[in-house]
């Protein structure tokens, strides 16, 4: 396997995953099993391209075959049971590993930002109850590293009962939809002090 159930460390696997279409496919399979045709539209690609990306994801242990459907005409895929996907830079990472992690995190955050922008642009078209329940919030915290680690665990535990991967449509309340939570906990790095303006700073 290319991950230990917690953290990605194989640079080849991370480079394979650092592709917007593959991240979109992986997120879609987080809602439940699907065929290449079903994931293709959401990723903006053809079914044949989706099949290729699914095979690459399977090669590195991110997805696997799901039980076939009754008609058995198309291959069905699901995410593997290796636990939540995570990636973080460690002080002893080799340069190749560090570069692969940074590239993957950049694509993950770009994809997440695009999902957030789409939701924000659509907010005024949402029904009142969904608009009222939606939150884009930012908090400044004061805590030590141990507290932040525990907070991560608490948040993950709170979200766990609602994960679409494990909560089917028949288990959720009527009117349920797929929603997305973005959790970013990090130590603040102060902005560098701006330099003093020069006399010709407005010069063209």
Q: What is the pLDDT of residues 94-143, one digit of tens each?
A: 999 999 999 999 999 999 999 999 999 999 999 999 999 999 999 999 99
> What distance in Å separates the CA atoms of residue 47 and residue 53, rounded to the nearest whole number?
10
| 1 has pLDDT over 70 | no
Question: Which is higher by pLDDT, 72 or 19?
Answer: 19
Q: Quote the CA–CA distance of 63 and 25 in Å, as a whole number.
A: 10
List Cβ neighbours of 82 (8 Å cut-off, separation of 6 or more).
1, 3, 4, 5, 61
User: Of the given ranges (82-91, 153-162, 171-180), which has the lowest mean pLDDT?
Assistant: 82-91
Residue bearing tokens 């692969």: 100
61 neighbors 82 (Cβ within 8 angstroms): yes
**How far, in Å, CA of 144 to CA of 192, rounded?**
23
pLDDT of residue 63: 94
Listing DSSP states for 145-156 in one string gives HHHHHHHHHHHH
- DSSP conformational letter for 8: B
Q: Give me the residue spans of the domains in the chain.
A: 11-130, 137-190
For residue 5, the model assigns a pLDDT of 42
Topology (CATH level 3) of domain 11-130: Arc Repressor Mutant, subunit A (1.10.10)
**Alpha carbons 180 and 115: distance in angstroms, whole number:** 9
pLDDT at 91: 86
């Amino acid at each position: 396997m290319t991950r230990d159930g917690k953290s990605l460390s194989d640079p080849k696997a991370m480079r394979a995953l650092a592709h917007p279409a593959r991240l979109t496919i992986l997120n879609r399979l987080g809602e439940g099993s699907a065929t290449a045709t079903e994931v293709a539209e959401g990723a903006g690609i053809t079914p044949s391209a989706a099949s290729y990306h699914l095979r690459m994801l399977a090669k590195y242990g991110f997805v696997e075959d799901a039980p076939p459907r009754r008609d058995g005409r198309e291959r069905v895929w699901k995410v593997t049971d290796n636990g939540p996907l995570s990636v973080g830079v460690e002080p002893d990472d080799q340069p190749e590993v560090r570069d692969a992690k940074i590239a993957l995190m950049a694509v993950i955050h770009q994809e997440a930002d695009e999902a957030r922008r789409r939701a924000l642009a659509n907010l005024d078209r949402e029904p009142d109850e969904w608009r009222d329940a939606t939150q884009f919030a930012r908090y400044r915290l004061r805590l030590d590293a141990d507290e932040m680690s525990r907070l991560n665990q608490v948040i993950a535990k709170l979200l766990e009962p609602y994960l679409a991967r494990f909560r089917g449509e028949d288990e959720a309340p009527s009117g349920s939809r797929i929603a997305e939570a973005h959790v970013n906990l990090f130590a603040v790095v102060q902005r560098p002090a701006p330099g003093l303006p020069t006399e010709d700073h407005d010069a063209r």
